[in-house]
Amino acid sequence: MNIVRTGWVLPLTITGLLLACGGATEGPAIPGTRQSPGVTAPQSEADAAVVERLASARCDQEQGCNNIGPGAKYASRSVCMEQIHGGIADDLNEYRCPRGLDSVGVDRCMAAIRSEECNHPLDTLTRYDKCRTGAMCLR
């Protein structure tokens, strides 16, 4: 009888600890994104809006570095937006972040983009530590 009772103590304790620790360091979700597994249309729309904001910030940074215009890295702002948006959308989407996006993580990524110096050799969002999916996705 004693063995049966103590056999449940460890699993219940572990379950309680896991539930208590989950999500303790995350900020609020981006409005419209879910905090439970699965992808919904509102989440996709919210994620697309974040991708648009991040792409715009990257192109603002590229503009400030004189990388947009005739003979530059990007022929126009629309070319910059198209290319960068596609890369970000591939890196950050509802399938990689099924629980949604962490607003604090997205804000940290935006700050990292704005503070980036010109002439960085890599041209992907993941070059920023703060912009990797692990930093922006709700866990």
pLDDT tens per residue, range 4-28: 454 544 444 444 433 344 444 556 6
Average pLDDT of the residues in 42-52: 77
Percentage of the chain with pLDDT > 70? 60
d(CA 59, CA 113): 10
pLDDT(113) > 80: yes
CA dihedral 100, 117, 111, 95 (to 10 degrees): 0
Query: 12-51: b or e for each residue (b if 16 or more CB lie within 10 Å)?
Result: eeeeeeeeeeeeeebeebbebbbeeeebeeebeebbeebb
User: How many other C-beta atoms can be found within 10 angstroms of the C-beta atom of residue 4?
Assistant: 7
